Amino acid sequence: MANPKRKRCSKCKKKFPATTEFFYREPRVKDGLRCECKSCCCVSDKTRYVANPEQKIASSKAWKAANPEKVAAHQNTWAAAHPEKVKKLHAAFHERHPLYFVWSDMIRRCYKPNCTLYQWYGALGVTVCARWLDPEHGYENFCEDMGPRLSKKYSLSRYLDLGNYEPGNVVWGTKADQAAERRGKNAMKRFHVYRVQQKVTRRKAG
């Protein structure tokens, strides 16, 4: 196989094989490769982004939004190659945001049909208030309204296991508290059925 054509970097003036191993792709150029080699491009980009960090953040967000599959593939590959780092990152995230997964699970069971608990919440019309669903400040609002959780034994408990997830209708409760709420709810249902039966009996007797 013949040696590939060599190309001179416009910045460092060194010659490299004209391949994607040494040059980034650039469709607007005749040979499809950038004029600067990869090393010089990295130095130039780093210098430019240090001088203008907002540009780096904007370009990074734009690229991630345009390439979600590549981002997911890279994250999965990195996680598979660094399991110990993933554990440390998860532990650090839990320490900084102890209620994040409580908040996200609440939304998932109300709005994600593929969630195993959706049939008991979202399918029955249970929703989450707009204040806690806010895409930018929903989690912060949730933490502010609910306050800290005493321990992992506590979870979200709706009053009598009825209504929606909203301030004033949700508190921290243990499994025993939630069982008592369900007993109260069932007692109310039985009382309602009893009243209806009494009315039917009186009408028949009259």
What is the pLDDT at residue 64? 86
- What is the mean pLDDT of the segment spanning 136-152? 90
Q: 102: which residues sit within 8 A by CB, 6+ positions away?
A: 149, 155, 156
Selection from 149, 196, 143 nearest residue 173 by Cα: 149
- pTM given for the model: 0.55
Question: Which of 55-69, 128-142, 143-157 has the weakest average pLDDT?
Answer: 55-69
More confident residue, 32 or 51: 32
Which tokens sit at 186?
């069932």
- What is the mean pLDDT of the segment spanning 49-56? 78
- Model confidence at 203: pLDDT above 90: no
Summary mean pLDDT of the chain: 83
User: Is beta strand 6-8 parallel, antiparallel or unpaired with respect to 23-25?
Assistant: unpaired
Quote the percentage of the chain above a pLDDT of 90: 26
Quote the percentage of the chain above a pLDDT of 70: 86
What is the pLDDT at residue 145? 93
User: Which residues, in sequence order, are bridge partners of residue 17?
Assistant: 6
Q: Provide the strand spans (E) within the chain.
A: 6-8, 15-17, 23-25, 33-37, 155-158, 170-173
- Model confidence at 200: pLDDT above 70: no
- What is the mean pLDDT of the segment spanning 17-44? 86
- What is the mean pLDDT of the segment spanning 123-132? 94
CA distance 121 to 165: 10
CA distance 126 to 61: 34
